[in-house]
Amino acid sequence: MEKNGSAVTDFLLMGLSEDPRVNMALFVLFLFIYLFTIIANVTLLTACVTEPRLHTPMYFFLRNLSFLDICFSSVYVPYLLAQFLSQKKISFPGCAVQMFSSLLLGNTECVLLAIMAYDRYVAILFPLRYTVIMSRSTCIAMLVCCWVNSCVIAIGVMVLTLRLPLCGHNVINHFFCEATILLQMACGDTFVTEMVIFSGAIVVLLIPSFFTLISYVRIIVTIMRIRSSEGRRKAFSTCASHLIVVILFYGTAIFMYMKPKSVDTANQEKIISLFYTVTPPLLNPLIYSLRNKDVKMALQKITK
């Protein structure tokens, strides 16, 4: 990548705000969010690993989601906290690593959420065949395919984006090296890169989100047949909380990676990015643990 004929060695990230007072308030807020995210996900991961009762397909995927959220949050928030204290430069290799990590982890979480929705679909609609359909070998194979598919797409998008020449500057008006933002700064023909990003978004965003919604629709239809009003209420409450996180994550990511050019401003893009980078790792352990009796019992056992 070149800038005015010279190789770019680093980028300047503008962060969320340039007001020192706002930055200090945001530093405290995001430090609390990060600490809570890490503690909540580590606690949930520990509970799922140490409690034998939680060694089932559902909690196998939940363990992986907690691990993924710890890594996903750590890609963005620590560097964001540093930006609140002073504007930070990131080296070209550092930008490449951050972009690859965010794409890999984000893509994996997209597919993993769809797999978890399918797991609940099988458990509720085919309870007698659940252990056969969701065998350990099947779960591992699905998870491996999830990571490999995400890795291939992440490498392709990263390589094609970082090889584009810049339009005379290396200032990124964002809080991390995101492919869509660097694409806006690029000179020359970006059609191939845009098509690769769009195609990748179809594979890891549109298709998984479609199957996730279909799974929850079938689950809700099955719940409607429950005779107990209390049972229906609890089931609907759980599904609703899951769907809120899923829609928030998929919706903002789809808008960011599949929207037309110049739909919104740079500041709006920063806010939208927060909804699929910082919010899901914060909410997932709350959604998947506080409403789960088995996890509560495992957590009580750990605290004792």
| CATH at residue 250 | 1.20.1070.10
pLDDT, tens digit (0-9, with 9 covering 90-100), for 40-84:
999 899 888 888 888 889 899 999 999 999 999 999 999 899 889
Q: Coil, strand or helix: which one is 87?
A: coil
The DSSP call for residue 55 is -
Global pTM reads: 0.90
Q: In the prediction, which pLDDT does 6 show?
A: 44
Q: What is the largest CA-CA distance in the chain?
A: 71
Domain that holds residue 191: 2-303
Token pair 């430069």 in the structure block, residue: 89
- Which pair of structure tokens corresponds to residue 99? 């972009």
In angstroms, the Cα distances linking 67 to 54, 72, 193, 255 are: 16, 9, 30, 26
Identify the CA nearest to 63 among candidates 76, 50, 73: 50
Q: In the prediction, which pLDDT does 234 show?
A: 67
Q: In the prediction, which pLDDT does 4 show?
A: 43
244/250 Cα distance (integer angstroms):
10
Residue spans of the chain under pLDDT 70: 1-8, 168, 230-231, 234-235, 237-238, 260-266, 290-291, 304
| Total domains, the chain | 1
C-alpha 171, offset from chain centre: 25
47/66 Cα distance (integer angstroms):
11
**In this structure, what is the dihedral angle of CA atoms 132, 135, 141, 145, given to the nearest 10 degrees?**
70
283 contacts: CB under 8 Å, gap ≥ 6: 245, 248
